[in-house]
């Protein structure tokens, strides 16, 4: 964490959760209250690996006895499906796992969490939920050179020119709030895009432009108060390499990270 003063709890943050990046959000719900009402509170519903019938990993994930300090927002670099069903979400998780294990040669799914366009949140890498519950960190394979201190959220779709669905956006906000509360993170410092670390278009220009609004919305869900317009990140502008294949969202793991 930086030397920036910690945020303080005091009731809901500004009613203008879309002040930053409001034009990007369009018709998405503008307030933290809307996010909480639509998603049922701070702790999101999470579908486990058993729910989506994950394959056994090649090796158990490594759990580090420390908390991650950043939440990395990704897009899956797959089609923007209009199938918003739970069955589709489970199929997405299986497809990502198959690609990561069979094509990339990794031990398991690379990211810790996945959100479908229908707004379903799923456990990714094995032991992720166990580690979060213990306020520890599962080593993933999702951000090259930074897997030992970042937790990754894959958001279904490709957001170079399109914006995510309302359901995905709301679940992403509540999921980030849950992680920030669990790990005692400042959302204005902690929530970043994949391109903030490596040369990649991920999470897409449109979703990346929405990250300032996401940080404000997460702070509101957490009932934090801070100065309006606070933003600690200098946006990284491209051009960046675009996805070459389905599920290619850029550099994710070093040779020893599987």
- pLDDT tens digits for 205-227? 999 999 999 999 999 999 887 65
- Give the CATH architecture of domain 31-53+63-225: 3-Layer(aba) Sandwich (3.40)
pLDDT the model gives residue 252: 79
Contacts by 82-87, CB closer than 8 A, 24 or more apart: 82/117, 83/118, 84/116, 84/117, 84/118, 84/119, 84/165, 84/167, 85/118, 86/47, 86/118, 86/120
- Region 116-125 average pLDDT: 98
Per-domain boundaries in the chain: 31-53+63-225
What is the spatial distance between Cα 108 and Cα 100, in angstroms, rounded to a whole number?
Answer: 6
Helix (H, G, I), strand (E, B) or coil at 167: helix
- Residues of 200-214 as b/e, b for ≥16 C-beta within 10 angstroms? bbbbbbbbbbbbbbb
Distance of CA 66 to the CA centre of its chain: 19
pLDDT recorded at residue 59:
96
73 pairs with which residues across the strands?
153, 193
Q: What average pLDDT does the chain have? A: 84
- Is 48 within 8 Å of 129 (Cβ atoms)? yes
Is the model more confident about 19 or about 106? 106
> Considering the entire predicted model, what is its pTM?
0.83
- Residues 147-199 have pLDDT tens digits of 999 999 999 999 999 999 999 999 999 999 999 999 999 999 999 999 999 99
């Amino acid at each position: 964490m930086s030397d920036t003063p910690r945020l303080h709890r005091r009731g809901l943050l500004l009613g203008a959760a879309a002040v930053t990046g409001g034009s990007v959000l369009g018709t998405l719900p503008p307030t933290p209250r809307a996010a909480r009402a639509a998603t049922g509170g701070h702790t999101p519903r999470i579908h486990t690996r058993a729910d989506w019938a994950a394959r056994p990993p090649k090796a158990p994930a490594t759990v580090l006895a420390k908390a991650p300090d950043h939440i990395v927002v990704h897009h899956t670099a797959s089609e923007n499906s209009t199938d918003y069903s739970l069955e589709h979400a489970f199929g997405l998780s299986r497809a990502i796992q198959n690609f990561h294990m069979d094509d990339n040669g990794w031990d398991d799914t690379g990211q810790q969490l996945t959100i479908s366009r229908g707004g379903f949140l799923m456990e990714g890498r094995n032991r992720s939920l166990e580690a979060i519950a213990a306020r520890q960190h599962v080593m993933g394979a999702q951000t090259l050179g930074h897997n030992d201190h970042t937790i990754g959220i894959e958001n279904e779709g490709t957001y170079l020119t399109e914006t995510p669905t309302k359901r995905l956006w709301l679940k992403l906000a509540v999921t980030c709030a849950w992680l920030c509360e669990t790990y005692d993170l400042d959302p204005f410092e902690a929530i970043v895009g994949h391109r903030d670390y490596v040369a990649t278009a991920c999470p897409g220009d449109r979703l990346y432009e929405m990250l300032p609004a996401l940080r404000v919305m997460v702070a509101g869900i957490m009932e934090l108060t801070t100065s309006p317009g606070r933003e600690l990140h200098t946006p990284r502008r491209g051009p960046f390499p675009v996805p070459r294949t389905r599920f290619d969202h850029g550099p994710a793991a070093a040779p020893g990270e599987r």
